[in-house]
Structures are given as structure tokens and as C-alpha cells.
Amino acid sequence: MGSDKQYDGYRSYDYLDDEDYTQIELADMFSGFDPHEVELTADETDRVEQLVADETVVSLHDHPFHFPDDVHEDLWEYIREGRVHTAYEFLTETPLDATFDMHLDGLSGIHSKHGWKWDDIVHDISMRACDIAHSEYALQCGSVADIHRAHDEGKVAVVPALESAAMIENELDRLEQLYGMGVRCMGITYNASNSLGTGQGDIYERDGGLTAFGTDAVERMNKVGMAISTSHSSPQTTLDVCEVTDEPIFDTHALAQTGGMGQRGSSDEELQAIADTGGVIGILSSTHLPDLETYMQHFEYLVDLVGIDHVAFGPDVLYGDHTSLLEVLAEFHGVELPESTMENPYVKGLENPTEAWNNIPRWLVKHDYSDEEIAKVLGENVIRVLDEVW
């Protein structure tokens, strides 16, 4: 994490007065779970502190912002207000130099009932960018140089990213507009299909894969310098993207079928295809996993499968009650959450970015990974891809 964190005390939208927008009580650090820390010896603790000080630490996928304290009561009002609050103070308690910030994504129903609309995404991205511009501690990340700057200056670089390209509809030029707004990574689909390809949760009888327009979009993203993710894409869409792209790609947050996730995970073929592009796979935290130990089993499985040069961490966690959020979303969409989703109310040791990013390096040190290996998976692998793509 480079220099000591240079946090200036700024909180989101401090440049406004309270009466300028609706005030909603936000989640604190430990909303919805009991904190856990990997136990280390004094020598191991010293090694962790030295490693995270020296090496560049990058989260490939998180939502590093506050949700409401009472998700059931206040979520939709918070979203409609259109001012998501970045958790600056909480991020200072992590070793992160940079985080891929996935915004509200499908929750971005600021002007519509269902997310992914162009106006909603533009509102979310631009409002968050305005807030970050007022912080002396955070900076909107548009280049690898910004990540190195954050490391050197004790700041955090926030990488604007989106989990689906649904909002571009049939307009390739919107990719360039989003890049101009700061977006530096985008998924092809979310679970639902769109004009680019078939979504992971939208396969009926056969998997349609990447469309012709999706092929054009991949080529345009390569040209403009926007990183591509195949998270939530169908298996065939993922394989097609890997074949079409001229640049390395990401799966920003994934778990392995063969590592114990069954059909909810990615196949070895998909994961190997991503690695074969020169890309990197971030490991996802999920309520299907009870704790950090099972999470790291997926990490070790992927290291054995594709090699340590192609693995990183994308926990996909947030500041708030994650389980309550899933319950509210299930109710909104009129679906029942699978028993396996609700089996664990939280993932012990990984429930928000602060807990996850303090425990991951502790676990790696405790399990005798070398300094070189730890440096790769904490950030070097992601930066190598960004050096090629951006």
C-alpha cells in the first residue's frame, strides 16, 4: 500500500449541505456480521505489514461504498437519490492501492425501475466521479500511472468499472463515451443476455454465445483501451470473447465448477481460455462459501489449473448487510433465493473490503507463499494486463 494513507477526513458529498439531498443512515464497518481476523505470529504479522507496504495491492472487483444501514427499509430511496457514498474512511483501513469499483450496475434504477439503462449508468458514474474529485485521498484511476501514484502518495485509485455492456444497446460509440467518462473495465453481459451475447443465467436449450455486434464491441474495446471481463457471461460467450480479443481479458470475479461450485462456477475450459489470452481471473467471495478457508481453496485450485501468473482476487464485497441486500433483490424480482445462497449469513473473514483485504495477505503469509508469489496475486498480475490493455 505504499506510503501511509493520506486520508484528509473527507466524506462523500461533504461539499454539499445536508439539506441539499436526502440523508439516509449508512452501514457501519461491521453491519450484518461478526468480524474475523486470521491469527498470525508476531513474525508473520511483521512480514505481512512489510509486504503490503512494499507491493502494489489491487482489488479486481469490489463495491467499495456504503449501503444503507437498514437495507430493507431504505435501499430504494438511497438508490433513487442517485448519490452513492464511497467508503473513504473504511478504505484507509485496507492495504489497497487501487480497487475496481463496479458501481451500482443492475441496481442503478435511479430514473427507471430496472437498472442498466443508459441514463442510470451515466448518472451513477458521473455523480461518483464528481464526489471522488472532491477527495484528496481518492483519485479516479484512468491509467497504470495513477495506480503507481496512489501507491507512492498513500492514496487509493478508484477504477470505474461496469459488469455489463447492456446500456450501450446497439451503439458502439457509447463505449468511447463511457471511456471518456472514466470507465476502464466492462463486462460483456450480466446474467441476462443483451445485444452483445448470452448471459450466464439466460441459456435456454442452447448457448448462443457472442453475437456479431458483440464481436464488433470486443474489437472496439480493444481499440479504445478498455479492459474486458467475461464475468456472468455464458460459457460460449466467454469462449467466443477469448477467441476474438486481441488483448488479455479478465474474469473479475469467478469460482470454479470443479473447485466445488458446480454449475454456479466457471468451467476449467473457460478459465483456461481466459488465461490463454494472457488474462487474469479474480477469485469471488460468495455466500455459497462459509469462510475464508473455502475461498482460498478456489484460489489454490485456480493456481494449480492456470498458473499463479493468471490469478488475482476480486471478492465482490461491500459495506453493508449483504444477506439483507440479496433478500430485498429477490423480493423485488419475485424469485426465491436458493437454500445454498442463504445457508451462510456471511462469509467469515471476507464480508467487506476492509476485512477481505486485510485477511487475504495474512492467509497467504500464514500458508508460506513466497514474497514473489504474493506480490503477483495481490496486484502485479492485474497491472501486467493493464499495461497491455490500457
Work out how many domains the chain is built from and give that number. 1
Show the CA angle centred on residue 239, arms to residues 147 and 283, nearest 5°.
45
Got the DSSP string for 299-333? HHHHHHHH-GGGEEE----EES-HHHHHHHHHHHH
CATH code of 160's domain: 3.20.20.140
Is there a domain that residue 200 lies in?
Answer: no
In a domain, 303, yes or no: yes
| Burial (CB count <10 Å: 0-12, 13-18, 19+), residue 123 | middle
Say whether 109 sits in a helix, a strand or coil. Answer: coil
pTM above 0.95, yes or no: yes
Residue 153 domain flag: yes
In-domain check, residue 222: no
Residue 112, C-alpha cell as written in the block: 427507471
The grid coordinates listed for 83 are 448519490
Q: Are 232 and 189 in contact (CB under 8 A)?
A: yes
Q: Is residue 41 part of a domain?
A: yes
Asked, for residue 9, whether it belongs to a domain, the answer is no
86 strand-pairing partners:
65
Among the residues of 184-310, which ranges form H helices? 212-224, 235-244, 268-276, 292-306
In a domain, 358, yes or no: yes
Instruction: Please give the Cα distance from 35 to 326 (Å, whole number).
Output: 20
> By the 8 A CB rule, do 57 and 95 touch?
yes
pLDDT tens for each residue of the chain, 390 residues long: 777 899 999 999 999 999 999 999 999 998 878 899 999 999 999 999 999 999 999 999 999 999 999 999 999 999 999 999 999 999 999 999 999 999 998 898 899 888 899 999 999 999 999 999 999 999 999 999 999 999 999 999 999 999 999 999 999 999 999 999 999 999 999 989 999 999 988 887 789 999 999 999 999 999 999 999 999 999 999 999 999 999 999 999 999 987 666 566 899 999 999 999 999 999 999 877 899 999 999 999 999 999 999 999 999 999 999 888 988 888 887 878 777 667 788 899 999 999 999 999 999 999 999 999 999 999 999 999 999 999
Domain annotation covers residue 216:
no
Residue 301 lies in domain: 18-189+281-389
Q: Please check whether residue 245 is in contact with residue 222, taking contact to mean a CB–CB distance below 8 angstroms.
A: yes
